[in-house]
Amino acid sequence: MIAGLEEITDGTIAINGRVVNDLPASKRELSMVFQSYALYPHMTVRKNLAFGLQNLKMDRAEIERRVDEAARILQIEPLLHRKPRQLSGGQKQRVAIGRSIVREPQLFLFDEPLSNLDAELRVQMRVELASLYERLKTTMIYVTHDQVEAMTLATRIVVLRAGRIEQVGTPEELYTKPANLFVAGFIGSPKINMFDATVTGTGADRKLNLGDFGTYPLPPELAEGHERMTVCVRPEAIKLDSGSVQAEGRVRLVEYLGSETIVHVDLPSGTPLIFQTHQMEKHRVGEVVRVGYDPADQHLFDADGQRLMLGETLVA
């Protein structure tokens, strides 16, 4: 829709303040990098890069200059005479990006550009895209299912589910103040811990009952009227043998990653819990451990999965 390849049924799309609803794709001054690269297989890399510029009836020397410049930036100069089938996945992706760059657009659209690459190359290209952004400083709209890409590349993230916006914010906002359970669960790896809780008592005596973690007071500033809640705690906020709220559990799985270890624990009720530790001590499967957290690190969500705010403001 932003690119103009599909018509919108409602609302307004503006680029740099200019409403582009009725403009064809080519007049929107944007360029797009496709997941499938969409390179013309019968053309050389040079011709692929020049194709869009030729449509603009641009001077040949200028086309050459822009193609050479893009090739230099993306380090694909030795590949200019090759055809796409002679390129690796990463090289094809560079050419696809190059085709966008040469047009010097006001806006780049990236449609899951790294999805077809293997893990190692994806990390490498991610870094290159970040440096490209630093170099060009042109707005980029980047669609991804990979939250690591989203968190590392974005200045602002829009989380969409089934076509609806769940939250808009900086990576930090999304991580520290997720607007709802979907965002809480989507952002962060390993995944955030979620515990069902009930509220007992009234007024200042209200308490959260979490089952395995027992009962502890609710923050007094929280509005009344919530009987059921979901308490979420990030894996890194869960500590071994510390925290004011604690429970015992049995280690089910240990993922040793070198600099950190991810430990999967089953609580007595069967609820799974994940915690992350940087300590070198080894955990064994079957071992009983005591884990805990501080209520200050918890995120509270109502029965509908919306964040319960404790005097904080949220962009949503």
Partner 1 sequence: MKNTKARNASGYMFLTPWLLGFFLLAIGPILVSLYLSFTRYDMVGDPRWTGFDNYIYMFTRDRRFWKTLEVTFHYVLFAVPLRLIMALSVAMLLDKGLRTIGLYRAIFYLPSLLGASIAIAILWRQLFSIDGVVNQVLAVVGIQGVGWITNPSTSIYTLIILAIWQFGAPMLIFLAGLRGIPRDLYEAADIDGTSRFRKFYAITLPMLAPVVFFNLVLQIIEAFKIFSPAFIISNGTGGPADSLLVYTVYLFNEAFKFFRMGYASALAWVLLLIIGLFTALAFATSKYWVHYENERD
* Residue ranges in contact with partner 1 by CB under 8 A: 3-5, 24-27, 30-32, 34, 36, 38, 40-42, 51-52, 55-56, 85-86, 99, 103
* CB closer to partner 1 out of 52 and 219: 52
Please report, as a single letter, which amino acid is at residue 184.
A
What 3-state DSSP class applies to 73? helix
Strand 245-256, strand 299-301: pairing: unpaired
- The CB-of-84 to partner 1 minimum distance in angstroms stands at 9
- The CB-of-73 to partner 1 minimum distance in angstroms stands at 19
* CB closer to partner 1 out of 46 and 299: 46
- The CB-of-167 to partner 1 minimum distance in angstroms stands at 29
In terms of Cα–Cα distance, which of 170, 192, 173, 171 is closest to 181? Answer: 192
- The CB-of-51 to partner 1 minimum distance in angstroms stands at 6
In terms of Cα–Cα distance, which of 96, 123, 101 is closest to 111? Answer: 96
310 Cβ contact list (under 8 Å, min separation 6): 219, 221, 222, 300
* CB closer to partner 1 out of 31 and 261: 31
Structure-token pair, residue 181: 């359970």
CA distance 146 to 165: 17
Beta bridge partners of 107: 30, 139
- The CB-of-252 to partner 1 minimum distance in angstroms stands at 44
Beta bridge partners of 159: 167
Q: Is the dihedral of CA 243, 247, 251, 255 positive or negative?
A: negative
* CB closer to partner 1 out of 11 and 41: 41
Asked whether the beta carbons of 167 and 178 are under 8 A apart, the reply is yes
- The CB-of-87 to partner 1 minimum distance in angstroms stands at 12
Asked whether the beta carbons of 285 and 201 are under 8 A apart, the reply is no
- The CB-of-190 to partner 1 minimum distance in angstroms stands at 35
- The CB-of-90 to partner 1 minimum distance in angstroms stands at 18
- The CB-of-31 to partner 1 minimum distance in angstroms stands at 6
Q: What is the largest CA-CA distance in the chain?
A: 78
Phi-psi region of 11 (alpha: psi -120 to 50; beta: other; left: phi over 0): left
157-165: list long-range contacts, CB under 8 Å, 24+ apart. 159/183, 159/186, 159/187
Asked whether the beta carbons of 89 and 124 are under 8 A apart, the reply is no
CA distance 87 to 2: 30
